[in-house]
Amino acid sequence: MSRVVAEAPAKINLTLRVLDRRPDGYHELDTVFQAIDLWDRLEFDHDREIRLESDHADLPDDGTNLVYRAADLLRAESGIDGGTKIRIVKKIPLGGGLAGGSSDAAATLLACARLWDLDADLEMLEPLARRLGADVPFFLYGRTARGTARGDRIERLQPFGEKPLLLGVPPFESATAEVFERASRRLTLPANSVNFPALFGHKWKQPNDLAFFGNDLQESVFETRPELRTFREGLLVAGATAALMSGSGSTVFGIFEDVASRDAALANLTGDFETWSLVPSRTLDEGVRIHVG
Ligand code: C5P
């Protein structure tokens, strides 16, 4: 293979329940990940070393980048000699709860396995993905999937379907570890540990679906960033069937029944949120795309 190109989608969390704090410092989650139509692009060429460049000034191009670590981990585990030159074209906002870095890392595992002609199936790649970060295994699957444990035990769900979305990305990032810390102090178990698993496995029928949407990290972020709450309320007033913060924030998204109502919401909210980036998107029954050249 002379070149492999990967397209790596962003995700939102349709639900995110924080069930408990774990001895390893992480939190026990029950979440529904959903891939969305917003993509980073990564190009992989053969090289003797692993080298990285990107079009985004804030993205590290050294061993601290999750993409670099993904390629390095796969190289070490498979014992191959070569490397790859990776070029990242970044479209997914950083620090927005859309997991662009995790998606790029999963895409790197899939793409390097092809570039280096490895006999690597999901069974081999999933433990590597888990070592890279809690959100990475989901992106080996994409589509609609449930994440338990640290969010890294993945189970496929019925497709949610293609629904129009409006993403509101504020001009500040969210610090994931801090958000989990604050939210978990508010959890008064077992009152919050609803039997959420019992709600899964359904076929996403309306109108009961609304009961599924929720994010246990949301309130504590809204307390420090009230404009996120205002944006969420704006989405609901503008006709969103559900609106939530994604992951640990800072992005807030609305789900709409049709493109016309989504576009009307976009027009309504633009004036009041001038410093935000308002991004039309949609939920997708797809995952990482790999093109071999
Ligand atoms: O795994 P990842 O590096 O993406 O996680 C970032 C941080 O988010 C962790 O260091 C941890 O503080 C927090 N986290 C958590 N519980 C999870 C996932 C993430 O507490 N299930």
66 lines ligand 1 (CB under 6 A): no
Residue 195: the pLDDT is 44
On the question of pLDDT at 121 being above 80, the answer is: yes
> What pLDDT is stored for residue 212 in this prediction?
77
pLDDT score recorded for residue 189: 53
130 CB under 6 A from ligand 1?
Answer: no
pLDDT for residue 28: 94
pLDDT attached to residue 198? 47
**Three-class secondary structure assignment of the chain:** CCEEEEEEEEEEEEEEEEEEECCCCCEEEEEEEEEEEEEEEEEEEEECCEEEEECCCCCCCCCCCHHHHHHHHHHHHHCCCCEEEEEEECCCCCCCCCCHHHHHHHHHHHHHHHHCCCCCCHHHHHHHHHHHCCCHHHHHHCCEEEEECCCCEEEECCCCCCCEEEEEECCCCCCHHHHHHHHHHHCCCCCCCCCHHHHCCCCCCCCHHHHHCEECCHHHHHHHCHHHHHHHHHHHHCCCCEEEECCCCCCEEEECCCHHHHHHHHHHHHHHHCCCEEEEEEECCCCCEEEEC
Work out which ligand 1 atom sits closest to the CA atom of 184: 20
Question: What pTM does this model have?
Answer: 0.94
Residue ID of nearest Cα to ligand 1 atom 8: 177
The rounded Å distance from CA 266 to ligand 1 centre is 32
Q: For 242-263, what is the mean pLDDT?
A: 97
Cα of 161 from ligand 1 centre, angstroms: 28
For residue 289, report the distance from its CA to the centre of ligand 1, in Å: 26
The protein residue with its alpha carbon nearest to ligand 1, atom 9, reads 177
- Gap from CA of 63 to ligand 1 centroid (Å): 19
Residue 192 — pLDDT band, cuts 50, 70, 90?
very low
Does the beta carbon of 20 sit less than 6 angstroms from any atom of ligand 1? no
Task: Establish whether 117 is a catalytic residue.
Answer: no
Q: Is residue 255 very low, low, confident or very high in pLDDT (cuts 50, 70, 90)? A: very high
**Residue 205 predicted with pLDDT over 80:** no
Quote the mean pLDDT of the chain: 92
- At 203 the pLDDT is 52
| pLDDT (0 to 100) of residue 191 | 46
**pLDDT for res 27:** 95
Residues 6-35: tens digit of each pLDDT: 999 999 999 999 988 899 999 999 999 999
Q: Which of 18, 176, 179, 217 to mutate to test the pocket of ligand 1 (most atoms within 8 A of CB)?
A: 176
The answer to whether 11 and 103 have CB atoms below 8 angstroms apart is yes
Percent of the chain at pLDDT > 70 equals 91
| 90 counts as catalytic | no
